[in-house]
Amino acid sequence: MIRKCLIIVLVASCFLGIMARAKATAADYNLPGIKVTVPDSEDKGRFSTAIEIVILLTVLSLAPAILVMMTSFTRLAVVLSFLRHAIGTQQSPPNQIIVGLALFLTFFIMTPVWKQIQTQAINPYLADQITQKEALTRAIKPIKAFMIHQTRKKDLMLFLKIKDKRKPENLESVSLSAVIPAFVISELKTAFQIGFLIYLPFLVIDMVVASVLLSMGMMMLPPVLISLPFKLMLFVLADGWYLVIDSLVKSFY
């Protein structure tokens, strides 16, 4: 026991000696410091360009949220997910296909809005005809008009009452902070309504198959396993993808 205590004391002494020596050695040398400064320059354009790059990177980092919350992507993705669950194919089509299809349909639906933004805001800004603030204001107007057109008045008034409890004079004076959540709620409600209509014919097939299996005494056989081929056949014969995509795209016009 005494020997173990002596070994521990020796190890601790060696460790403390090494630390003291390292501290003394570090004190003898001056480590270089790092200092970030912005040099004075008569060329203000270079500094302005650096700020624009930082702002652009910030916008790109928020691009997924902007795409999901301020475009038609929400309704498309939710409805396509409902369609997959209604058919009962589990992971077919996979999530990548659903997200990709919803993304390209979003580009197709939002093209007129983006053309307005490019014509009214981006092109004049690149031509140095307007300032950044004015370009941002012009870019917000078309997308706000799109969201308000798809938003229910009840949902919009909900956030207006919560925010300032007064009715705006016109739709242009409504703040974007109230339009975005109201638009998302309206999109989710519309997507659930479309999903309910999609579920109905497939639900009827499930009920018919379940009743037939029960009448035949085949209670241990899963009805979903038998109804899946019939649902696929009905969907293909009715040209389901054409009908669903056609209805989704037309619902925004």
109 inside domain: yes
Cα–Cα distance for residue pair 253/233, rounded to 1 Å: 31
d(CA 196, CA 71): 22
Looking at the domain assignment, is residue 196 inside a domain? yes
**Separation between Cα atoms, residue 205 and residue 228, nearest integer Å:** 9
In a domain? residue 99: yes
- Helix ranges (DSSP H) in the chain: 2-28, 44-61, 63-69, 73-87, 95-117, 123-126, 132-150, 153-163, 176-215, 223-237, 240-250
Structure tokens at 90: 């589990």
In a domain? residue 51: no
Query: Would you state the pLDDT for residue 62?
Result: 74
At 181, the amino acid letter reads P
Per-residue tokens: 200:
């109905």
Question: 10 in a domain, yes or no?
Answer: no
Angstrom distances, CA of residue 204 to CA of 84, 122, 153, 213: 16, 51, 34, 14
Query: What whole-number distance in Å separates Cα of residue 207 and Cα of residue 227?
Result: 9
Question: Which tokens is 105 given?
Answer: 């349909």
Does residue 111 fall inside a structural domain?
Answer: yes
Q: Is residue 53 part of a domain?
A: no
Nearest alpha carbon to residue 246 among 79, 65, 124, 74: 79
Tell me the average confidence (pLDDT) per consecutive run of 10 residues in the chain, 253 residues long: 45 46 45 50 52 72 77 92 86 87 92 90 84 84 89 87 71 80 92 91 87 79 80 88 91 86
pTM reported for the whole predicted model: 0.72
In a domain, 47, yes or no: no
Q: Which residue range forms the structural domain that includes residue 192?
A: 61-250
By C-alpha distance, which of 121, 102, 101 is closest to 113? 121
Smallest CA-to-CA distance from 149 within 65, 52, 251 is with 251
Domains contained in the chain, number: 1
